[in-house]
Amino acid sequence: MSQFRTLDQADLKNKRVLVRVDLNVPMDNGKVTDATRIERIAPTITEIANKGGKVILLAHFGRPKGRDPKESLKPVAAAVAEIIKRPVAFADDCIGDVARSAIDKMKPGDILCLENTRFYKEEEKNDPAFVDKLAALGDIYVNDAFSAAHRAHASTEGLGHKLPTYAGRTMQAEVEALSKALEAPTRPVAAVAGGAKVSTKLDLLGNLLDKVDVLIIGGAMANTFLLALGKPVGKSLVEADLVSTARDIMDKAKAKGREIVLPVDVVVAKEFKAHAPSRVAGIDDVAADEMILDIGPRSIEYVVSVLARCKTLVWNGPFGAFEMEPFDTGTIEAAEAAAELTQAGKIVSVAGGGDTVAALNAAGAADRFSYVSTAGGAFLEWLEGKSLPGVEILRAK
Ligand code: 3PG
Ligand code: MG
């Protein structure tokens, strides 16, 4: 992170600070149902305000096609105010006279949230004229939205070309945690790659094989690997057309001296539903009318023993059908083991992407990991080894 400019280097006093945050939070009936992303950006907002900056929040919400009151940031701005315990003003537009006159009224330490940047299609196009209109509203640009950093949009990337640019505290923490886990980790490094489909995780598996010592494959993805090994998978979710790809991945792992961990036993049921009657089966012993819904007890023990000999863990995706009891057992027990090892100071554990946070929260383990990212797509692209435009723009020029 040393190559990034952070708030430590920024002269904030009396400055209009455009702060890109991720306010794309889950909402139900106008209420925020999970405020984690807001809690994460709170320190950046209060620090800038306390140092006498005028905090102007820029963010997107949803994927609107043009201006749509259902995707207004107004209720989210109210939630921000509640969490940081300070007033947050709101302007109905993110550019033009409405935004400018709201900003003109600001005093040092004030906080203002501008309306959804995606109400303009120019935002996603990173349109230079739109970037200029945003840039005209501020003196300094702070990006604190790691979870939107895979987008090269006007407010996530374009502004970095126009204004003095700094990483916010959450961006800084996120990039530091991820770098610690994958760029310069303490070895051995294990990765848990779970989820349903090999097809959506090919780049991720390829990059992880370059970077980690042990790749633990979970979720329905593992079924495709078991099939590639000639194991019976019954009516499990599987991608038969990717069997040769799975074989290539295993060959590549062998050639590189990497270990791939697959289930050695599984929990099977005849129906895909919570509490469906189930049994533990060996991996040679899955019947034609059964489907694999979780890893079995010997597999859990195996995974836990692998974690115990590693120093770093990167986790993406659940082991089994974790949204249905009792098929969440593998994920819960492996996550518990990772949390305990972390708390004992034996591993650094970083998790994120898609379902992962929900799975670790459900397992009651998220708080005890070293770092849990709030990013979905951005975390996955990082694991794929891609550079993120919103991070690249922060590198000191
Ligand atoms: C997210 O919620 O993953 C980020 O805010 C990015 O949103 P997007 O996928 O709509 O670009
Ligand atoms: Mg997304």
pLDDT digits (tens, 9 = 90+) for 260-305: 999 999 999 999 999 999 999 999 999 999 999 999 999 999 999 9
Per-residue confidence (pLDDT) for residue 397, from 0 to 100:
60
CA angle 186, 197, 384 (to 5 degrees): 40
The token duo for 107 is: 């005093």
73: exposed, middle or buried (C-beta count within 10 Å: 0-12, 13-18, 19+)? buried
Ligand 1 atom nearest 145 alpha carbon: 5
Q: Cα separation of 262 and 229, whole Å?
A: 10
Lowest-pLDDT choice from 77-81, 224-228, 297-301, 319-323: 319-323
Determine which one of 20, 37, 40, 118 is catalytic: 37
377 is catalytic: yes
**How far is the CA of 63 from the CAs of 67, 116, 159, 381, in angstroms?**
11, 10, 20, 19
Instruction: Give phi and psi for 216, each to the nearest 5.
Output: -100, 120
**How far is the CA of 345 from the CAs of 20, 271, 300, 314, 338, in angstroms?**
34, 41, 21, 16, 11
- Is the pLDDT at 137 greater than 80? The verdict is yes
Q: Which pLDDT band, with edges at 50, 70 and 90, does 1 fall under?
A: very low
Q: Cα separation of 231 and 224, whole Å?
A: 10
Give the chain's end-to-end CA distance (angstroms, integer).
Answer: 14
Q: Please tell me what DSSP assigns to residue 148.
A: G
Ligand 1 atom nearest 378 alpha carbon: 3
Alpha helices in the chain (DSSP H): 36-50, 74-84, 96-104, 121-125, 128-135, 169-178, 202-211, 221-228, 243-256, 297-308, 329-343, 356-362, 377-383, 389-392
pLDDT digits (tens, 9 = 90+) for 340-361: 999 999 999 999 987 788 889 8
298 is catalytic: no
How many angstroms does the Cα of residue 362 sit away from the middle of ligand 2? 21
Mean pLDDT (whole number) for 197-213: 91
- The answer to whether residues 21 and 145 touch, using CB atoms and an 8 Å cutoff, is yes
How many angstroms does the Cα of residue 287 sit away from the middle of ligand 1? 41
**How far is the CA of 85 from the CAs of 47, 79, 131, 190, in angstroms?**
13, 10, 31, 40
Q: Tokens 């640019």 belong to which residue? A: 165
pLDDT digits (tens, 9 = 90+) for 86-109: 999 999 999 999 999 999 999 999
For ligand 1, mutation pick of 27, 151, 171 (most atoms within 8 Å of CB)? 151
Mean pLDDT (whole number) for 184-211: 91
Determine which one of 354, 368, 376, 390 is catalytic: 354
Residues found in the chain: 397
Is 63 near ligand 1, meaning CB less than 6 Å away?
yes
Per-residue confidence (pLDDT) for residue 344, from 0 to 100:
98
Residue type, 185: P
Mean pLDDT (whole number) for 214-218: 96
- Is the pLDDT at 194 greater than 60? The verdict is yes
Count of CA atoms in the C-beta half-sphere (13 A) of 320: 32
Query: Which ligand sits nearest to residue 26's alpha carbon?
Result: 1
pTM score: 0.91
Mean of the per-residue pLDDT values for the chain?
A: 95
242: exposed, middle or buried (C-beta count within 10 Å: 0-12, 13-18, 19+)? buried
pLDDT digits (tens, 9 = 90+) for 228-250: 999 999 999 999 999 999 999 99
* Sheet with 54-58: strands ordered across: 89-91, 111-114, 54-58, 16-20, 140-143, 165-167
Share of the chain above pLDDT 90, in %: 89
Is 377 near ligand 1, meaning CB less than 6 Å away?
yes
